[in-house]
Amino acid sequence: MESEAGMEGSSARSPDRNTIEAEVTIRRPVETVYNFYRDFRNLPRFLGDVMDVELTGPDTSRWTIQGPLGIRAHWTVRVTEERPNELIRYETVGSPGLKTTWDIHFSPGSTEGETEVREEMTMPLGRAGRAALAAIGKFPAKETSSNLHRLKQVIETGRVTDTSYAVRGKFSENSTWHESRD
């Protein structure tokens, strides 16, 4: 079983066998963080195994994921609920038994200009699913925490330096972001 995975400014925990939670504090206003995240084309900039996101509709997108041994897979993802500057809820589309859902919560931090981001990911197959992923070197709680840490890095500094739990070589010198980006 995975335990709490912490890194500076982020943490992860698993309240039950199917749900993983992680959180991070980002030194930027809620609106900036929310808008960056909600443009799913930004997700490959910090999600360790998401290589590309193609918007296919106002609430749907096609994600290219790189898994173990360089195998690429494609997911269709649908936004099921959003509240500007508060929540983005999305899920994979396909087999109900294999559906993964994410709730990304945004709230003002304890200091003006900070944002608390909390992710809740619900995965299929519980303990068996986690054991299968661990057997191929994937640890969702640790990946989730690393992903949020990279979100913090890219928004605060425009660069990603944390390469933990990411596709080898994915984050390089050209991984930058600036707030003035369209």
Q: Check which CATH number belongs to the domain holding 148 and give it.
A: 3.30.530.20
H helix intervals, the chain: 30-38, 126-135, 140-157
pLDDT of residue 173: 54
Tens of pLDDT along 32-70?
A: 999 999 999 999 999 988 999 999 999 999 999 987 778
> Strand, helix or coil at 49?
coil
Structurally, the chain folds into a number of domains equal to: 1
pLDDT of residue 17: 62
- Helix (H) / strand (E) containing 36: helix 30-38
The residues of the chain scoring below 70 in pLDDT are 1-17, 136, 172-182
Q: In which residue are the tokens 């290219």 written? A: 64
Looking at residue 125, its amino acid is L
Domain membership of residue 27 as a residue range: 10-157
Residue 172 domain-assigned? no
pLDDT of residue 178: 47
* Strand ranges in 27-100 using DSSP code E only, listed in sequence order: 50-55, 60-66, 72-83, 87-93
Give yes or no for a contact between 47 and 151, defined as CB atoms under 8 angstroms apart: no
pLDDT of residue 180: 41
